[in-house]
Structure formats: structure tokens, C-alpha cells
Amino acid sequence: MSTGIWLARHAQNMLGALGALSRNPVGTFLTVAVIGIALALPAALNVLVQTGKSAAGNWSDVRDFSVYMTPATPLVRAESLAGELRKRSGIDSVQLVTADAAVAELGKDPVFANALAALEGNPLPHTLVVRPAPEMDSEQLGKLSTELQKTPDVDLVKLDLQWAQRLNAGLDFLARLGWIAAVLLGAAVLVIVGNTIRLDIQTRTEEIEVAKLLGATDTFVRRPFLYLGLWYGLFGSLVAVLILAISLWVLGAPVARLAGLYGSSLELAGVGLGTLGAVLGGGLLAGWSGAWLAVSRHLSGLRPKD
Amino acid sequence: MIRFENVTKRYDGAREALSNVSIEVAAGELAFLTGRSGAGKSTVLKLVALIERPTRGQVIVDGRPLGKLGYHEIPAHRQQIGMVFQDNRLLNDRSAYENVALPLIISGIGEREIGRRTRAALDQVGLLDREKYPPRALSAGEQQRLAIARAIVSRPKVLIADEPTGNLDPDLSLEIMTLFRRLNEVGVTMLIASHDLQLVQKFGSRRIVLSGGQVSSSDTVDRAAGVGT
């Protein structure tokens, strides 16, 4: 078969499948709507996780930890350690609070001012305030903390891991929930498309059998149904994206207002390219696979019997 | 062209549909398979078209042992064979033209060639003026002629037909058989299953008589090929 004829056959099958969908608008709409809802749920969880990560960024100060140098450590050594830490991956920023700056800050409080005046020297050490990168999970934070604790001239590392652990655990849970939902609902889409195609095959059994008797290959028989599956997947994905976009638009203002009451500028994450690609790719793959399975199951019954 | 070597076919849990059958149809020959219902006529044709595989023995078509053909080679084999079924198996949601064009579409032939060959086949069976009609709008005889047009459109070397006149009255049956004879005269090898002995006798072609899954007789020298047993 020449390339031109091959392309023409594919175009005919593709448009033919689209025509078949348009001839049954109500059935097509219902199937596409169910696929759309099934795909929208894991996508919504993904948006929630993205929003959570963004929130973790907004509240990054709760993950900051302090590295207290041993008293009498020279300022040069503290500056050198700050420089080393800034170069490390997983660390967003390092702020050096010198002993003089710390005592000056403390001295602004009248309660501490008198106590400090009674002391002969400055008892406070140089301190490094380390802000980890948002992608650092609690385990990585724990390791970094332990490592810094062993660094020469470091007296104490103070990390409020509980906050970070709670936040990261929550995000991990949501992310995994999203994956489980994606797998289960992806399988549901596969079943929905497979069953819809199976019904379509039943109405075209005679045509398939005749084509096979006349020498049609499995590929020839399968092709129009695969395009049907792809169309279902594509339209279902677009419906999912639409559902997601409308939901985010409806929820956007109340979430911003709620966050504002807690002094945060948190906003819901949008339907990014990643989510869009995952929904479209997932929908097309599930549609194609569902159709492939349905047709293959039917074709296996048409094999010559020994 | 078609050779059965000690072929036995047994269906699951049933008696043998064919039992140690050996037959041969030479290139260009027109042979009739006759016998009562259940004699094994359809099974012979199914084995030729690889709709079934033999339990034992070997079927050879155009020099090729079918037992060696894998599943993915079956389509190419069937594209070489024209098939006419008793119930004609035409697609009623398509026009006469589309029905006849189907084997060519399956073979991956270009649109222009499809148009040319399809109209030639329709013309050959006298249905060119009916090309836009769906099969259900045609008479029984026209439907069977349409099925024959579909079987010959790919210019097969071998044509098999299972009771092609089974549902037709005597006049139409004669018309269809005459059409087969005409096609045979241009070199197509034919194996036609028919229980209508009177009709078969009118053509003087070789008869292979099956009874209880065995060849009970094979007679009369074929006029076209001069082959007989």
C-alpha cells in the first residue's frame, strides 16, 4: 500500500469515527461527560497538591532553621560557613545574624536590655538562618540538620521539624491520593471506552465478519475503532479540563479571601501545561487502550478453529 | 489448484465432519461439491478459506500448504480467494458499489483503480445501473449476482461458493450458475457446493459427492480443464 493510500485510509477512518459520534449526539455526550468527570478528579487533586506546595513556599519561614556557632567563633568563619551553605543544593538562602546584631536586637527589649548591661561581654553567638528549598522533604531536612550539627564550630542546630513534617506528610498524602485516583479513574475510563466500543462492535459484527472473510487484517478492522477510542479520550479530556477550569474559577476568590484572613497571599494553582498534558495524554491513552482491548477481544473469537 | 490430502475435520465433541478426504481441483476447473445437508460440503469450503483448520491432513491451495500459514498470513490468503456465501452476506447499510469495492479497499488499492474495477465487476454481473442501491433494494437474484461481483472484483484465481442458489427459484438458479460458468471460461478455478443435483447435472462439470464426511464418488470429466477422476 502506498503512503498516499495509507494516509487517505487513516483520514477516512478518523473522519468516519467522528461522523459515527456525531450521529449519536446524546450517547456521545453522556459517554464523554463521564470520561471528563473521571479524568477531572485526579487532575483536581493534582491542582490541590500544587497549591499545597505553593502554600509551603508561602510559609517557608516555618521550615527555616537556625545554626548557632560556638561562642567565640570568629565572624570570618561564620561568613565562610554561610558562603558554603549558599552553594549547596536544597538550600534557598542563608542569612547571617552576627553576635553584635543579635545583641543589638535583643537590647531593644527593655527586659533584656538591663540583663545584657550587667554582662561583661556579648554572650550571644553568630547565627545562620537557613531557608531550605521547597522541594526538600522532612527526611532530607533531618539529614541536613544532622550534617550541620557535625560541622566544626557549630554548637547547635535548631529545627522545628514537626511543622515541616506535618506539612510535607500532608502534601505527600495528597500527592499519593492523586496517583491512586489517577490510576483507578484511568482504569475506569478504559472500561467505559472499552464497553462503549464493545457495544459499537456488536452493531457492526456482520461488517467485521464479512471484512475478515474477505481478507481484512486485524489492523484494518481495529483502525476505525481505535480512532473512535481516541476521539472519546480527546473529548473526555477537554471536558475534564473545562470542568477543572470552571471549578478553579469558582473557588479562586473564596480561597484567596480565606487565605487573606490568615495573612497569606495563597492562590489556587491554575491548569498548568503539566496538568493539561497529563489529562490529554491520559485520556487519549485510556481511550486508545480501551478500544484496542475491546476489538482484540472480539477478533480473538474470529480466529480459525483447529 | 486445490488439493485435500487425507483431511479429517472434527468439531469439539461432535462426530467427524470430514473423514480422511482426498480431493483435487485442477487450475481452471469448475467442480461441484454435492451431497446432503451435513455431508461436509461447507466444511471443505471453510478449510479452503482457512475459516477452519483441519484436525488431520493437509489442504494445499495454489501450491501452498495452508497448515503452514500463520494467523497473520491468513488475510493475504483470503484476498486471493473469491467467496460467495449462501446467505450472500452483503452489507445492507452500504450501497451495491460499496459492497463490491470492499475487497479492494481491504487490499489497499487506490480510489481510481477501485472505481474502475468495481464498475467492471458490476457490469460483468449486469448490475452497473444498480450501483447506488443498497442490497435490500435488490431482488434475490440481483443480490446473489452482487455477491458474485464482490467475489470476482479482486480477480481471484480461485472462487468458492457455498450453496449460491440455495435461496433462489429454478430460473434464477440457472442464471447464477450460467454466470459461474462464464467466469470459469475465463480461467477462474471454481469449487461450488450445491445440494441441487438436477441443476449441477445440467452443467456437466465434475461432481465430487460427499456423504457422511467422506467422498462417495467423484465423476465426470470437466470440460474446461479436462481433469477428472
What are B206-216's pLDDT values in tens digits?
A: 889 998 888 88
Using the predicted structure, report yes or no on whether residue B222 has a pLDDT greater than 50. no
In angstroms, rounded to a whole number, what is the distance separating the alpha carbons of residues A111 and A215?
96
3-state secondary structure chain B: CEEEEEEEEECCCCCEEEEEEEEEECCCCEEEEECCCCCCHHHHHHHHCCCECCCEEEEEECCEEHHHCCHHHHHHHHHCEEEECCCCCCCCCCCHHHHHHHHHHHCCCCHHHHHHHHHHHHHHCCCHHHCCCCHHHCCHHHHHHHHHHHHHCCCCCEEEEECCCCCCCHHHHHHHHHHHHHHHHCCCEEEEECCCHHHHHHHCCEEEEEECCEEEEEECCCCCCCCCC
Q: How far is CA A240 from CA A246, A280, A299, B42, B205, in A?
A: 10, 9, 32, 53, 67
Residues of A with CB under 8 A from a CB of B: 1-2, 4-6, 8-9, 206-207, 209-217, 220, 303-306
Is residue B161 less than 8 Å (CB to CB) from chain A?
A: no
pLDDT of residue B229: 35
Is residue B79 less than 8 Å (CB to CB) from chain A?
A: yes
CB A97 within 8 A of CB A127: yes
Contact call for B49 and A306, based on CB within 8 A: no
- Cα-Cα-Cα-Cα torsion B185, B190, B194, B198, nearest 10 degrees, comes to 30
In angstroms, rounded to a whole number, what is the distance separating the alpha carbons of residues A67 and A86?
13
pLDDT of residue A56: 62
Nearest by CB to B50, from A6, A211, A304: name it: A304
Nearest by CB to A210, from B51, B74, B91: name it: B91
CB A279 within 8 A of CB A238: no
Contact call for B71 and A216, based on CB within 8 A: no
pLDDT of residue B175: 83
> At A216, which amino acid appears?
A
Nearest CA in chain B to A1: B108
Which grid coordinates are listed for B56? 488431520
pLDDT of residue A303: 76
Which grid coordinates are listed for A227? 480512532
pLDDT of residue B199: 81
Nearest CA in chain B to A301: B51
pLDDT of residue A161: 63
Nearest to A286 by CA among A235, A213, A222, A220: A235
In angstroms, rounded to a whole number, what is the distance separating the alpha carbons of residues A167 and A56?
7
CB A81 within 8 A of CB A128: yes
In angstroms, rounded to a whole number, what is the distance separating the alpha carbons of residues B182 and B201?
17
Residues of chain A neighbouring B103 (CB-CB closer than 8 A):
214-215
Matching residue, cell 536544597: A90
Residues of chain B neighbouring A9 (CB-CB closer than 8 A):
105, 108
Nearest to B57 by CA among B101, B8, B106: B8
Contact call for A305 and B79, based on CB within 8 A: no
In angstroms, rounded to a whole number, what is the distance separating the alpha carbons of residues B217 and B204?
15
In angstroms, rounded to a whole number, what is the distance separating the alpha carbons of residues B162 and B85?
5
Using the predicted structure, report yes or no on whether residue A57 has a pLDDT greater than 80. no
pLDDT bucket at A306, cuts 50 / 70 / 90:
low
Which grid coordinates are listed for A128? 545562620
In angstroms, rounded to a whole number, what is the distance separating the alpha carbons of residues A298 and A292?
10
Is residue B116 less than 8 Å (CB to CB) from chain A?
A: no
In angstroms, rounded to a whole number, what is the distance separating the alpha carbons of residues B86 and B197?
16
Matching residue, cell 483503480: B113
Which grid coordinates are listed for B163? 450453496
Q: Which secondary-structure segment (H or E) carries A22?
A: helix A3-22
Which grid coordinates are listed for B143? 443480490
For the packed helices A218-261 and A205-213, what is the interaxial angle rounded to 10 degrees?
A: 140
Using the predicted structure, report yes or no on whether residue B228 has a pLDDT greater than 80. no
Can you say how many angstroms the Cα of residue B61 is from the centroid of all Cα atoms in its chain? 13
The CATH 3.30.70.3040 domain(s) of chain A lie at: 71-152
Can you say how many angstroms the Cα of residue B196 is from the centroid of all Cα atoms in its chain? 16
Mean predicted lDDT score pLDDT of chain A: 85
Using the predicted structure, report yes or no on whether residue A234 has a pLDDT greater than 80. yes
Using the predicted structure, report yes or no on whether residue A55 has a pLDDT greater than 60. yes
Contact call for A214 and B76, based on CB within 8 A: no
Which grid coordinates are listed for B86? 449462501
Give tens-digit pLDDT for A152-202: 999 999 876 666 667 777 878 888 888 888 888 888 888 888 888 888 888
Using the predicted structure, report yes or no on whether residue B75 has a pLDDT greater than 90. yes
CB B210 within 8 A of CB B44: yes
Nearest CA in chain B to A299: B71
Contact call for B110 and A207, based on CB within 8 A: no
* Structural domains of chain B sorted by starting position, each given as residue range(s) with its CATH number in brackets: 1-80+156-229 (3.40.50.300), 90-155 (no CATH)
Give tens-digit pLDDT for A58-116: 555 566 788 999 988 899 999 999 999 999 888 889 999 998 888 888 888 777 777 77
Nearest CA in chain A to B49: A213
Which grid coordinates are listed for B14? 461432535
The matching CATH number, chosen from 3.30.70.3040, 3.40.50.1820, 3.30.390.50, 3.90.1170.50, for A71-152 is 3.30.70.3040
Give tens-digit pLDDT for B96-122: 999 999 999 999 898 899 999 999 999
A258: which residues sit within 8 A by CB, 6+ positions away? none
Residues of chain B neighbouring A303 (CB-CB closer than 8 A):
71
Q: How far is CA B156 from CA A214, B62, B122, B183, B186, in A?
A: 11, 11, 16, 11, 11
CB A27 within 8 A of CB A199: no
Strands B2-10 and B56-61, by their bridges, are: antiparallel
In angstroms, rounded to a whole number, what is the distance separating the alpha carbons of residues B33 and B27?
16
Residues of chain A neighbouring B51 (CB-CB closer than 8 A):
213, 304
Residues of chain A neighbouring B85 (CB-CB closer than 8 A):
213
CB A5 within 8 A of CB B110: yes
pLDDT of residue B224: 38
